[in-house]
Each structure stands twice: as structure tokens, then as C-alpha cells.
């Protein structure tokens, strides 16, 4: 009876495994562009790393702000002398060496130190670290813009690859049908064998292109999975919006918007402010440093420093301490000079970055215009290629043209279809590139694809 139950359960178990659909990672396999962007923003590790840099800078700023407050410290010192300390009075002949301490000396203390004046160093450093938080946040925005662009680009490249796979499959289907026509005509003695061979070779080549297109699609999907922080081989389906955005803003308006919104420019401007504050920080070394110190100490010859036969074992001190570096061979002046040159460097880098941003906007607009024109010409070329193939196939069946002309017509159609795909999605990638260059989402109207 046990064997019967065992033999019944095991096959059912394996059948259930086969029939059970695989569990999708994260419960989602189909993405729109917006859902892909949301998933990437939520899960991408590069953004999480940038967020941690913000958190680290916040801690750094908080640490800098505490430097202006009093600090409590303690210390313990154990000293052993080879010879017992003594005082010697040369001017008093009758007085011998007088003991001044014992071979073992213990000292411990508690001390409170309050900075009074540091040449504005502490307040300047705190301001620099506060600006650093804003810089890190702008670096996060830069990373966010770059991630959004990469997701959009990967998304549209998948759509291109899907279109190329469809075109490759259509080409294979067309050439298979043509090969059947060629075989029938060859058996009837209507065409030469080399015409048949050309058809077979063309089909084999098309089948190879089909496999390349399939592999390319899987690679593009894998890259988008990585951006979404999903396993590289996760199932992935994306939805296509056929509407094409249309930009109506002038180049001057777009460049002005880019200069205003690009986080890289904002971050570099804040870094310039930090550099100017650093000049002030370096100049703080020209000033004296004043500290107020309160201290309680005990000294003696036992481990707790409670026994002292030579002076009081405990005492309390209040000190006003000033330290002023008067001469270091011009070191401070050179450090101030270095800080000033870094300010000039950042000013030039800021100008260079603004020029680079303007160029990026210009390049994106030019790409948009090129692809926009290519869409129109590619659509017309596709219509002509379809009609050319239709007529050529009919002429071939009437023995008016050779097999080579059919293959050429199919090749022209494949090229026209791929050109249209490249134009449509190249246009959409160029729009995304413009948004990345401007540094913000653009509002635009849609046109049919």
C-alpha cells in the first residue's frame, strides 16, 4: 500500500512543478515607460549609494557644528623615576639635597576646553559643510537625471530590437514563400538551378539575421533589468506608446532653461562658494587661537593619586590660553594663495560647463530635427518598398524578372522597415537626450507616429 501511494504522489509532484508557471521577480514582468522609471528610481543601487553620500555629508556637517562647543576630556599618567627627585641649593652650604618627590608619580585630571576665538575657522568650516549637503543633493539629482535617461534609452532600444526581430521574422517568412515558388518553378523547368540556389542562400542568411536580432533583444532586456535592479535574465515585457512628442520651444529658451536647471551647474556654483569660504578658512591661521580651559587634577604616589607628601594632592585650574603662530616661512601665505587659485579654477570650470551644456542642448535639437525628417522620408520609402516587393513577386511568378530581383526587393523592404524603426525611436531617444541636457522634464504635445 505504501509503495502504491509513493508511486502515485511522486509523478503528480513533478507534473505540478512542470505545469506551475514561474514566479516573476518582484511580481511584475510588464512595464510601461513610467513604471520602468519608477522601479529604477526605487531600486537602482547607484541612486541608493548617492543617498548614502547625502546622509554621510549630513553627519559631517553635524560633527563640524559641534566643534564650537566645550569639550570634556580626561587623562591619567603614571611616571617612574630611576632616582628620587630632590632640590639642590648651591648657595646654602649647610643645606643638603631636599627630596622633592618620590620615584613613582601619578597624575589624573578632568578638563573642559571651550574655544573662544579661532579666527572664524569653526564657523567657516561649518558653513562649508552645510553647502556640502546641498552639493551632495545636487549630485543625487544628477544621478537621477542620468538614470532616467539610461532607462528611457534602454527602453526605446528594446522597442527597436523588438521591431528588428519582427522585421527579421517577416523577411524569413517572405523568403520561405519565395523559395517554395522557386522550387515549384525549378521542377517545372522554368528557372535555372542557380536561381534556386540564390533563394536558398538568401533564406539561410535571413535566418542568421533572425538569430542575431533575437540575441540583441535579449541583451537589451538584460541591460534594462540591471537598471531596474532585477536579475539579468528576468522575464521582461514592455509596452509601446505610439505617440511621438513634439518640442515647440526655441533653442535660446532651452539653453536658458538648461543653465537654470542643470544640477551640475548648481553643484559647481556651490562648490565655488565653498572654495571662497576655504580662502577665509586658510586666512584664519593669521589670527590667534584663544581657548578657555577649566581643569581639575590630582597628583600623588599611589594609583588613585590621593597621597602626596610634598604638595596638595588635588587642585582646580582656570586658564585662558592663546596660541599665535607668528612665523612659518610664508607657509600660510602659500596656502591662502593655493585656495585663491582654486577659486579661479572653479570659475573657469563653471564657464566651461555652461558652454558644454549649451552644446549638449544644440546637439540634441539637431538630432531631433534629423530624426523628425527621417521619419517622414522613411515612411514614404517603406510604402514604395512594399509596393516594389509586391510587384516584383508578381512579375517573378510571370517569369518577367529573375530571383535576384525578388531578393533585392525584399532587401530594400527590410532596409526601409529598419530605417523607419531607427528614425522613430532615434527621435524619442533624442527627445530624452534633450530632457537630460536641459535638466528637467519638458512639456510637449504629441503627434501620431
Q: How far apart are CA 236 and CA 29, in angstroms?
A: 5
Question: How confident is the model at residue 336, as a pLDDT?
Answer: 96
pLDDT digits (tens, 9 = 90+) for 191-200: 889 888 999 9
Measure Cα distances from 26 to 21, 43, 221, 311, 331 in Å.
Answer: 15, 11, 16, 76, 59
With respect to residue 29, please indicate whether it lies within any of the assigned structural domains: yes
Averaged pLDDT score across all residues of the chain: 89
Cell of 71: 569639550
CA distance 191 to 188: 8
Total domain count, the chain: 2
177 and 224 in a single domain? The answer is yes
Residue 94, pLDDT score: 63
**Residue 444: band (very low, low, confident or very high) from pLDDT cuts 50, 70, 90:** low
Compute the C-alpha angle 16/19/23, nearest 5°. Answer: 100
In a domain, 162, yes or no: yes
pLDDT digits (tens, 9 = 90+) for 129-161: 999 999 999 999 999 999 999 999 999 999 999
Confidence of residue 4 (pLDDT cuts 50, 70, 90): very low
Give the separation between CA 134 and CA 141, rounded to whole angstroms. Answer: 11
Domain final position from 323, 341, 372: 323
State residue 173's pLDDT score: 95
Distance (Å, whole) CA 366 – CA 254:
13
* Residues 29 and 55 grouped into a single domain: yes
Residues 316, 224, single domain; the answer is no
398: pLDDT strictly greater than 90: no
Domain shared by 125 and 176, yes or no: yes
pLDDT of residue 415: 95
**Residue 148 in domain:** yes
Answer whether residue 32 is part of any domain: yes
150 with 227: CB under 8 angstroms? Answer: yes
pLDDT of residue 95: 64
Q: Does the residue 191 lie in any domain?
A: yes
Q: Note the pLDDT of residue 11.
A: 44
- The answer to whether residues 359 and 260 belong to one domain is yes
Residue 377 has pLDDT above 50, yes or no: yes
Give residue 175's region: left, alpha or beta (phi > 0; psi -120 to 50): alpha
Tell whether the model's pLDDT for residue 28 goes beyond 80.
no
Does residue 337 share a domain with residue 303? Answer: no
Q: Which of 323, 338, 372 is the last residue of a domain?
A: 323
Model confidence pLDDT, tens digit, residues 317-355: 999 999 999 999 999 999 999 999 999 999 999 999 999
Q: Is residue 449 part of a domain?
A: no
In a domain, 8, yes or no: no
Each residue's pLDDT tens digit, 227-285 = 999 999 999 999 887 778 887 778 999 999 999 999 999 999 999 999 999 999 999 99
Q: Is the pLDDT of residue 390 over 90?
A: yes
Residues 364 and 405 in one domain: yes
Q: Are residues 349 and 428 in the same domain?
A: yes
Mark whether 243 and 371 lie in a shared domain.
yes
Which pLDDT score is estimated for 249? 78
Q: Which residues span the domain enclosing 101?
A: 71-117+289-323
Question: Up-side HSE of residue 3: CA atoms within 13 Å toward CB?
Answer: 0
pLDDT over 60 at 22, yes or no: no
Q: Is residue 397 part of a domain?
A: yes
Say yes or no to pLDDT of 13 above 60: no
Residue 355: which CATH number?
Answer: 1.20.1600.10
Contact indicator for 46, 229 with CB cutoff of 8 Å: no
| 189 & 225 share domain | yes
Residues 319, 365, single domain; the answer is no
pLDDT digits (tens, 9 = 90+) for 80-92: 988 777 777 676 6
Q: Are residues 218 and 205 in the same domain?
A: yes
Amino acid at each position: 500500500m505504501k509503495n502504491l501511494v509513493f508511486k502515485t504522489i511522486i509523478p503528480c509532484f513533478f507534473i505540478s512543478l512542470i505545469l506551475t508557471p514561474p514566479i516573476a521577480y518582484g511580481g511584475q514582468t510588464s512595464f510601461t515607460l513610467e513604471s520602468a522609471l519608477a522601479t529604477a528610481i526605487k531600486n537602482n543601487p547607484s541612486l541608493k549609494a548617492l543617498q548614502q553620500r547625502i546622509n554621510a555629508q549630513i553627519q559631517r556637517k553635524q560633527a563640524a557644528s559641534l566643534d564650537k562647543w566645550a569639550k570634556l576630556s580626561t587623562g591619567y599618567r603614571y611616571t617612574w623615576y630611576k632616582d628620587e627627585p630632590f632640590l639642590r641649593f648651591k648657595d646654602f652650604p649647610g643645606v643638603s639635597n631636599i627630596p622633592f618627590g618620590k620615584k613613582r608619580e601619578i597624575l589624573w585630571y578632568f578638563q573642559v576646553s571651550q574655544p573662544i576665538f579661532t579666527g572664524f575657522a569653526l564657523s567657516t568650516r561649518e558653513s562649508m559643510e552645510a553647502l556640502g549637503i546641498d552639493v551632495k543633493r545636487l549630485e543625487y539629482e544628477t544621478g537621477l537625471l542620468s538614470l532616467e535617461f539610461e532607462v528611457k534609452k534602454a527602453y526605446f532600444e528594446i522597442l527597436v530590437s523588438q521591431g528588428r526581430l519582427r522585421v527579421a521574422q517577416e523577411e524569413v517568412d517572405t523568403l520561405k514563400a519565395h523559395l517554395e515558388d522557386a522550387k515549384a518553378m525549378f521542377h517545372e523547368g522554368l528557372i535555372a538551378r542557380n536561381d534556386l540556389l540564390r533563394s536558398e542562400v538568401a533564406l539561410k542568411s535571413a535566418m542568421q539575421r533572425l538569430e542575431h536580432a533575437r540575441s540583441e533583444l535579449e541583451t537589451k532586456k538584460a541591460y534594462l533589468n540591471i537598471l531596474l535592479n532585477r536579475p539579468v535574465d528576468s522575464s521582461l515585457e514592455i509596452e509601446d506608446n505610439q505617440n511621438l512628442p513634439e518640442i515647440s520651444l526655441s533653442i535660446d529658451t532651452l539653453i536658458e532653461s538648461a543653465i537654470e536647471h542643470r544640477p551640475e551647474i548648481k553643484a559647481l556654483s556651490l562648490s565655488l562658494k565653498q572654495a571662497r569660504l576655504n580662502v577665509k578658512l586658510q586666512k584664519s591661521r593669521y589670527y590667534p587661537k584663544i581657548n578657555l580651559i577649566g581643569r581639575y587634577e590630582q597628583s600623588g604616589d599611589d594609583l588613585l593619586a590621593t597621597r602626596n607628601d610634598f604638595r596638595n594632592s588635588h587642585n582646580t585650574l582656570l586658564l585662558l590660553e592663546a596660541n599665535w603662530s607668528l612665523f612659518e616661512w610664508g607657509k600660510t601665505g602659500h596656502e591662502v594663495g593655493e585656495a585663491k587659485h582654486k577659486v579661479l579654477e572653479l570659475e573657469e570650470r563653471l564657464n566651461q560647463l555652461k558652454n558644454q551644456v549649451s552644446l549638449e542642448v544644440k546637439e540634441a535639437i539637431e538630432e531631433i530635427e534629423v530624426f523628425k525628417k527621417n521619419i517622414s522620408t522613411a515612411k514614404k520609402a517603406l510604402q514604395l518598398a512594399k509596393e516594389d516587393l509586391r510587384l516584383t513577386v508578381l512579375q517573378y511568378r510571370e517569369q518577367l524578372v529573375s530571383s535576384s530581383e525578388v531578393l533585392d526587393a525584399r532587401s530594400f523592404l527590410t532596409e526601409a522597415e529598419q530605417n523607419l524603426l531607427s528614425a522613430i525611436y532615434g527621435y524619442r531617444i533624442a527627445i530624452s537626450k534633450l530632457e537630460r541636457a536641459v535638466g528637467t522634464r519638458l512639456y510637449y504635445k504629441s503627434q501620431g507616429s
